[in-house]
Structure formats: structure tokens, C-alpha cells
Amino acid sequence: MAARITRSPAEAASVLKRGGLVAIPTETVYGLAANAFDEKAVARIFEAKGRPSYDPLIVHIADAAALDQLVRTVYPEARLLAEKFWPGPLTLVLPRKENVPGLVTAGLDTVGIRVPDHPLTRTLLAMLDFPLAAPSANPFGYVSPTSPAHVAEQLGERIDAILDGGVTRVGLESTIIGFPEGRATLYRYGGLESECIEALIGPLNYAAATASDPSAPGMLKKHYSPSKKVLIGDPAALAAQVDAPFAILSFRSRYKETGALEVFTLSARGDLQEAAQRLFMGLRTLDALPVKYILAEWLPDKGLGRAINDRLRRASAR
Ligand code: TXA
Ligand code: MG
């Protein structure tokens, strides 16, 4: 049966209390949520996504006060970050307490936690006496959903409900920070600029964000991928090289005379925030066209441009 689409947090809450799966809006992307303390419900998330059980889930909480229920140690920098950036696109990976099911954390001794910033989901979380485990609401490895329609198309038959909160505002997944050996470390570039984090707590360790070790979070070399081949570089030059129909994902320019079937411009005015918000919609739109290639260009390597480039790099990995 197809998922019920609702705008009512109360209705979503009742489905979740019964152990159901609900796609929830956040400011970053849609999540596929279940009661984090209900192992049966959490197991259904992995099944619906086709997600391997070694990939841990993020736990969503109503506010920072709920942290101490789930984690043993909150490092001083983590406390600062939570105070400044929650609710918001930041996930903190911290040593977990025993009550967090091993399935949620893929057996790790840590748990990823965040307070999402979307009015419907904040209302929903306030109605529940349990946190929500939620990965992005897409089949494993595919581009994350930024609208309820994206969720319905791919997972609509496998989940119970979709809480419709419109198109997501940030459009990129949260930035993930962990504390191996107590040292603040970037695990995944995302919706909160690393510059903002460093302005608050000083330089981050970046080693994990550039490794392709799957035990590092969100860091599978190939991920966030459309089904068409993604090539990155100068679209005009790439266009002259390819031997089959193609589309272009550009930052600002229209690339008029390249012969592209379609050009999706992320932000004509060159605004990185707008580009981030439209990135996944662009990849999905072009992926649906009768083309063999998606030619994309790098964005400026700063702020959200870094997170966008990270997603493009993974989308293009073989
Ligand atoms: O913005 C977001 O983060 C969205 C919304 C729904 O909150 N969620 C999201 O979840 O992107 P997901 O599962 O698609 O990506 C979360 C990443 C995974 O790659 C996982 O490996 C990593 O977080 N992660 C979660 N818990 C972790 C832990 N304890 N240690 C290391 N990595 C962890
Ligand atoms: Mg994901």
C-alpha cells in the first residue's frame, strides 16, 4: 500500500508510536524515521532502503537537553557546537550509552545525533517520548530526497507515511563532526560550512573526510549517485569529447551552444546557498532524461561549495 501523505505531525506521531516508518522533513533532506528504541522498527528502515547494516543511522532529538539521555561524554567543543548550531544541519558523533540499540549505531561505540530545524518535525519530536533514528529517505547509494515527491517515487510503497513539509531549505545533508581521541574531526562536509565550525572551536582534523574507508561516516567513495555517468570538469570541453546524448549541471552559466539536451543551472546569480538547495533536484531532473552522461562543473571550493563538490565527486565515482 502506498504511503499516506500528511501535513499533520500528530498523525505522523501515531504511526511512529505503533512502530511504523515515516519520512520526515528536515532543513537538509528528508529522513526515513522510526522509533530509535524500537529495534524492529529500525530494522525496517534498513530493509526499506536496502541499506547495509554496517552503515549507522543518525538519531534525531527534540533539543540539546535530550543529549545526556543518549551519550556518555559530551566534549566541551561538542557542547559549544550544539549550543550555537542546534537546531541546524550539524550531526555530532559522541560515545553512546547502553540504551542506544546496536542496530542504530551498526555496533559502534558512538552515536550520531542532531536536532533538525524544520517546524513540522520539531513539533513531531516534541510529541514523542523517544528519539527518531533516520537516514536520508532514499534507496541506499542514490541521491537524497529534497521533496516529498522524491520520497514517494522511490520509497512510497515501502513506508507507512510521509510528513509533507515542502521542499527542504538547505538541500544538502548535515555536516558530521566526530571526536576520535577527543579531537574534533570532520567526517562529512554538509549544510553547515566548516568555516563556521572552525570560527567557533578552531581548526578541525580533516583526515576522515578525504578517506574512502567505508567505516568512516557518509564517506563511501561512491555515494549520492544518479544512475547516469557523471563527468566533472569544464562542460564545454567535456561536451566535445562525449559520444552520446548528455545534459549539463552548471553553476551559473547556460552553456548554450554545447548541444546538451538540457542545462540545469544551480544558481544564475552565483549564490552557493541557492546552488546547494537545488543540487539534488538538478541531479534527479537530469538523471530522468534520455541521456548517457551528466556533465557537471566544480563549484568554488569554499563554504557550501566544498560540500557540493564532495557530493559531485562521490556521484561521479565508479
Ligand atoms: O542531514 C542529514 O544528516 C540527514 C537528515 C535526514 O538528518 N541524514 C542523513 O543520514 O544524511 P544518512 O544515514 O544518509 O547519513 C548519515 C551518515 C552515514 O553515512 C553514517 O555512516 C554516518 O552518518 N554516521 C551515523 N552515525 C555514525 C557514527 N556513530 N559514527 C560514524 N558515522 C556515523
Ligand atoms: Mg544518505
CATH number at residue 21: 3.90.870.10
pLDDT digits (tens, 9 = 90+) for 111-169: 999 999 999 999 999 999 999 999 999 999 999 999 999 999 999 999 999 999 999 99
Give the mean model confidence (pLDDT) for residues 223-232.
91
Domain assignment present for 219: no
- Around ion ligand 2, residues with a beta carbon closer than 5 Å are 136
**Residue 218 has what pLDDT?**
55
Strand pairing report for 132-133 and 58-60: antiparallel
**Residue 214 belongs to some domain of the structure:** no
> What is the residue with the minimal CA distance to atom 22 of ligand 1?
217
Euclidean distance between CA atoms 19 and 35, whole angstroms: 7
Helix, strand, coil shares, percent, the chain, to 5: 35, 20, 45
Q: What is the Å distance from ligand 1's center to 125 Cα?
A: 18
Among 217, 232, 140, 157, CA closest to 185: 217
DSSP letter at 169 equals S
- Asked if the model's pLDDT at residue 214 lies above 60, the reply is no
223 found inside a domain: no
Q: Do residues 276 and 191 touch, judged by C-beta distance below 8 A?
A: yes
Task: Give how far Cα 315 sits from Cα of 23, 220, 260, 310, Å.
Answer: 23, 11, 20, 9
Residue range 264-273: mean pLDDT, rounded = 98
Do 233 and 201 belong to one domain? no
Domain assignment present for 220: no
Look at residue 271 and tell me whether its pLDDT is greater than 60. yes
Ligand 1 atom index nearest CA of 91? 3
**Do 197 and 248 share a structural domain?**
no
Q: 125 with 8, same domain?
A: yes
Do residues 78 and 15 share a domain?
A: yes
| Ligand 1 pocket list (CB less than 6 A) | 26, 28-29, 31, 55-58, 89, 91, 93, 105, 108, 110-112, 116, 134-136, 173-174, 176, 187, 217-218
CATH number of the domain that residue 281 is part of: 3.40.50.11030
> 162 with 263, same domain?
no
- In the three-class reduction of DSSP (H, G, I as helix; E, B as strand; rest coil), residue 240 is classed as helix
Closest-CA residue, ligand 1 atom 23, reads: 217
Same structural domain, 63 and 108: yes
pLDDT exceeds 70 at position 84: yes
Is 232 a residue whose pLDDT tops 90?
yes
Together in a domain, 240 and 189: no
Residue 312 is part of which domain span? 229-316
pLDDT digits (tens, 9 = 90+) for 16-44: 999 999 999 999 999 999 999 999 999 99
Q: How far is the CA of 190 from the centre of ligand 2 (A)?
A: 12
Domain membership of residue 221 (yes or no) is no
Q: How many domains does the chain have?
A: 2
Query: What band does 186 get if pLDDT is binned at 50, 70 and 90?
Result: very high
Atom 33 (ligand 1) nearest CA = 217
The answer as to whether 215 is a domain residue is: no
Report CA(186)–ligand 2 centroid distance (Å): 17
Instruction: Judge if 32 and 129 occupy the same domain.
Output: yes
* Whether residue 60 is found in the same domain as residue 115: yes
Length of the chain: 318
What pLDDT was estimated at residue 223?
75
180 plus 256 within the same structural domain:
no
Q: Distance, CA 180 to ligand 2 centroid (Å)? A: 22
Mean pLDDT score, 238-261: 96
Pocket test for ligand 1, best of 140, 176, 177, 188 (most atoms within 8 A of CB): 176
Judgement on whether residues 127 and 60 belong to the same structural domain of the protein: yes
SS3 per-residue string spanning 278-312: HHHHHHHHHHCCCCCEEEECCCCCCCHHHHHHHHH
Half-sphere exposure of 11 (CA within 13 A, CB side): 13
Cell numbers at residue 184, please? 574534533
Q: Which atom of ligand 1 is nearest to the CA of 110?
A: 29
Which among 82, 306, 300, 88 has a CA at the least distance from the CA of 184?
82
Question: What is the overall mean pLDDT for the chain?
Answer: 95
- Cα–Cα dist 253/233, whole Å: 14
Indicate if 261 and 198 belong to the same structural domain: no
* Residue 68 placed within a domain: yes
